[in-house]
Amino acid sequence: MTAPARLRALLAQPGFVTMPAVWDGLSAKLTAAAGFPSAFLSGSCVAASRLGGPDLDLISFAEMFDSFLMAQRAAPDLLILADGDHGYGNAMNVQRTVRAYGQAGAAAILIEDKITPRALTSAGKPCLPREEARMKLRAAVQAARDSGILILARTDCRPTQGLEEALARIAIFAEEGADILFLDSPENPAEITQSLAAAGGKPSFCVLAQAPPRQVPTRAEAEALGLKIGTYPQGMISPVAAAIQAGLAAAAAGEAVTPGALAPAALRGVLGFGDYDEHARQFIVQG
């Protein structure tokens, strides 16, 4: 069964699907080992890990795609929802992006309606006119037919163009064939409920990280509202950054071990030293 087909089957089951946010081979491998069947390849996490910077449309398609390949190769059974951002250009760029991820084995890809290139400010998320956004989503759905990859359509227009426009886009994206819908920056649970209605019964995605002044639901609240998928964008990358800082502080103090760090044997197990030796044994030349 293909990755998209497996994700469809997962979404058809009862219950909420938590997708940890991953960015490389190690984060994907640990996610799979923890028992999660799926993960979100997060643009913000990739930007943090590769650039040491914010997620402000500075990451390229090639960098995101390379991060996807690292994650997939480290955890081949993990169903990965890739962050395709705005598709890296116009409708034709969107098609290239969707086809590349589909051919490479991604289960789903997120495409949003933000304007690219972004204005030279970190504030706000200006979005394309509605019909241009529709055409980009139509292009994505068309390109997805080759591989069956699921399309997650996201609108970022709620803060800049209002709820009515955002709901209209959710309905349009669902009509155009998006498999999963995502209203970014809802202001309250009532808006989430309205977005679910606009999605027409198709599953909806949400971000579960706290982001004041927005009201972000807990996992239990999200499931009660009827949302189907959620991710914690800073859920792993933030503790990793804290651990690096702790390791650096320990090194500066002349300490070899950081409190809470994995023991050497445990780290070797996580990284697969034993698996390597077992697999390599068949190629050893006997003297």
CA distance 40 to 233: 9
List phi, psi (to 5°) of 39: -155, 160
Amino acid at 207: V
pLDDT at 210: 67
pLDDT at 120: 75
Q: 152 and 108 in contact (C-beta within 8 Å)?
A: yes
pLDDT at 119: 79
Q: 204 and 225 in contact (C-beta within 8 Å)?
A: no
Side by side, the strands of the sheet bearing 150-155 are: 21-22, 38-41, 79-83, 108-112, 150-155, 180-183
pTM: 0.95
pLDDT at 212: 64
Amino acid at 44: S
DSSP 170-220: HHHHHHHT-SEEEE-S-SSHHHHHHHHHHTTT--BEEE-S--TTS----HH
Q: 39 and 76 in contact (C-beta within 8 Å)?
A: no
pLDDT at 211: 66
pLDDT at 256: 87
CA distance 132 to 224: 34
Angle between helices 273-280 and 264-271 (to 10 degrees): 50
pLDDT at 209: 79
List the domains of the chain with CATH numbers.
3-236 (3.20.20.60), 240-283 (no CATH)
Q: Which residues of the chain, if any, have pLDDT below 70?
A: 210-214
Question: What are the structure tokens assigned to 31, written together?
Answer: 């996610």
